[in-house]
Amino acid sequence: MAQIIDSSNFKTEIENGIVVVDFFATWCGPCKMLAPVFDELNTELDGNAKFVKVDIDKSPELAQQFNVSSVPTILIFKNGERVESSIGFVPKDSLKSKIDKLL
């Protein structure tokens, strides 16, 4: 399962390599649909990409910083730089393809 992070450790978590961040909310239906996809990719790409989650209700400052107005929002960082984003449910193959392009 992907680690839930907050503003206290966000910057250090996204510094190195490819990091996929799922901005979610516990009350969000599409977020619940995305959770198993996120966990499967976390297992499949172990070591090649890191997967973390941000609960927007517990870390609203991060949601604001990255202009997250809809959940789920996925942001992909490479060595601390935002390189990709998507809003809403993303099928596993589509998300994996975006990550593979960065590897």
What would the pLDDT profile of 24-55 be if each residue is shown by its tens digit?
Answer: 999 999 999 999 999 999 999 988 999 999 99
pTM: 0.95
> Is pLDDT at 66 greater than 80 in this prediction?
yes
Q: Where are the domains of the chain?
A: 3-90
Domain 3-90 has CATH 3.40.30.10: yes
* Helix residue ranges, H only, 1-103: 10-14, 29-44, 60-65, 92-102
Of 98, 77, 93, which Cα lies nearest the Cα of 40? 93
> Is pLDDT at 94 greater than 90 in this prediction?
yes
Active site residues: 28, 31
Give the separation between CA 60 and CA 34, rounded to whole angstroms.
Answer: 20
